[in-house]
Structure 1
Amino acid sequence: MNEKLDVVDKRHLRSIKTKQKLLEAAREVFLEEGFQKATISQMIKKAGIGYGTAYVHFEGKEEILMVLMDDVMGKFYEIAEVSFFPKTKVEAREIILSQATSFLKMAETERSMMQLFEQAMGISTSISTKWKAIREKFIHRISRDIEFAQARGLARAELNQKLVARGWFFTNEMYLWEIVRNEHQGTVEEIAETMTAVYTEGLYI
C-alpha cells in the first residue's frame, strides 16, 4: 500500500514540476513573441517536455496565460487584502494611501507582464472575461472595507458601497494602465496621493 502511495506521490510531484517548467517557458515565449505570435510548440520546445504532456495540463495558450495572470494579479490582491480596521478617518486614509501606492508600484514592477495581458485582452474574449472576473474580485474586497467604515460611522452611510467601490477600483485601474503604457503624468507617489485625497474626502466623515 505504501509503495503504491509512493509511486502516486512521485508521479504527482513530477507532474507539478512539468507544469511549472511549462509555465516558466511560456512566460519567456509570451514576453519574447507577444500573445498573438506565441505558440504552444515554442513553449514545449523551450520547456523541453513532451508534446502530449503539455496538453495534459493546458488546453491551449489562453489557458496558460490565465494561470500566469492569476500569479501576477495575486501579488496585487495581496495588497488589497491588507487588514483594514481603522479607528479614525486619518488612520483609514493612511491605509488607503499605502495600498494605492503599493498597487501602482506593482504596476511598474510587473509592467512587461501587464503589457502582455492588455495585448491579450484586445485579442481574446476569454482573456478579457478573465480580467473582468479579476476586477470584480477587487471591487468586492473594496466594498467590504467601505462597509466596515460605514458601520463604524467613519464613512458616509448614505452612499452605495458597491458603486463607491467600483469608482475607486476604476480610478486605480485607469492609472495602472497608464503606468503600464508609460503614459502617466506625475510620479506614482503623486498619483496615489491625489486620488486617495479625492476618494477619502468624498467618502469619509
Structure 2
Amino acid sequence: MKHEIAKLTTRQKQALETRQRLLEASLTVFLENGFQKATISQIIKKAKTGYGTAYVYFQNKDEIFMELMEHVMEKFYEVAKCPFEPKTKKEAYDMIQHQVRLFLNLAVQERKIMKVVKEAIGVSPIIEKKWQEIRERFIKRITEDIQYSQQNKLAKTDLNSNLVARAWFYANEMFMWELVNQEESSIDEIALHLTTMYTSGLYV
C-alpha cells in the first residue's frame, strides 16, 4: 500500500488525504451525534474542507457512512474468513465456537459505531440495502463452510446449505445486536449455546 501511495502524484496524494480526513471527521461526528442528527455540514466543518471539495468525494452523509460501515464490517468478515477445514465433528465444533466468540467480542469492541449502524439501517434505505449486501456476503461464506463439511461427510447432506447458512447468520446477528444494545451479557454462554444448537442440528 505504501509503495502504491509513493507512486501517486502530489495532487493525487492530496486528494487521498482529503478523502481520509473526511472519513475521520465523519466517524467523530456520527459517534457524537448519531446517524439522524449528523449532517454533512458538521462533517465538512470537522474536516476543515470546503463544500465543493467534500461533494467531489461523497454526495451525502449516507455515502460517507456506508464506507465507514463497510470498513468496520470488514473486521467481522475477517472472522468469517478464518480457515475452516475440520476433520471431525469435535474439530468443527471447536472452530465454530471460536468464530462465534470472536464475532461477538467484536460487537462489544465496536459497540459505539455499531449502535450508529443499527440506527442508520432503520432510517436510511441506502444503508439498509448495503446491510443486506453485507449479510449476503457472510451467508455466502458460511454456505461454503457448510458445503465443505457436507462433502467430507461431517454434516447432513439432505439439508440445504444456503438455508442453514442463512439461519446461522441471523442467529449470530440477533445476539450481535443484543450485545451492542446492552452492557451485561455472557459471550461465552451465548457462544456455547449457539454452537451446540447449530452443530447438533447440522453435524452427524
Shared fold, TM over 0.5: yes
Shift, 1:12, TM fit: 1.3
Aligned partner of 1:201: which letter? Answer: S
- Aligned residue pairs total 199
For the pair 1:203 / 2:198, whether they are aligned, the reply is no
Aligned twin of 1:153 = 153
For the pair 1:143 / 2:143, whether they are aligned, the reply is yes
Aligned twin of 1:97 = 97
Shift, 1:106, TM fit: 0.3
Identity among equivalent pairs (%): 51
1:142-181 → structure 2 map (5 Å cutoff) = 142-181=142-181
Q: Distance in 1 between matches of 2:7 and 2:176?
A: 46
Aligned partner of 1:196: which letter? Answer: T
Q: How big is each residue's C-alpha offset from its partner over 1:13-59, in whole Å with a ceiling of 9 and x where there is no partner?
A: 11111111100000111111111111111111111112111111111
Q: How big is each residue's C-alpha offset from its partner over 1:121-162, in whole Å with a ceiling of 9 and x where there is no partner?
A: 111111111111100100000000000000000000000000
Q: What's the secondary structure of 2:9's corresponding residue? A: helix
Q: How big is each residue's C-alpha offset from its partner over 1:86-140, in whole Å with a ceiling of 9 and x where there is no partner?
A: 1111111111001000000000001111100111111111111111110010000
For the pair 1:21 / 2:21, whether they are aligned, the reply is yes
Q: What's the secondary structure of 2:158's corresponding residue? A: coil
Shift, 1:7, TM fit: 9.9
Q: Distance in 2 between matches of 1:170 and 1:7?
A: 43
Q: Distance in 2 between matches of 1:110 and 1:8?
A: 33
Q: Distance in 1 between matches of 2:176 and 2:83?
A: 22
Shift, 1:183, TM fit: 7.0
Q: What's the secondary structure of 2:35's corresponding residue? A: coil
- Cα separation, partners in 2 of 1:21 and 1:45, compared to 1, 3 Å: same
Aligned twin of 1:3 = none
TM-score (ref. length: structure 1): 0.94
Q: Distance in 2 between matches of 1:113 and 1:7?
A: 33
Q: Distance in 2 between matches of 1:8 and 1:105?
A: 38
TM-score (ref. length: structure 2): 0.94
Q: Distance in 1 between matches of 2:170 and 2:8?
A: 46
* Deviant stretches of 4+, over 3 Å: none
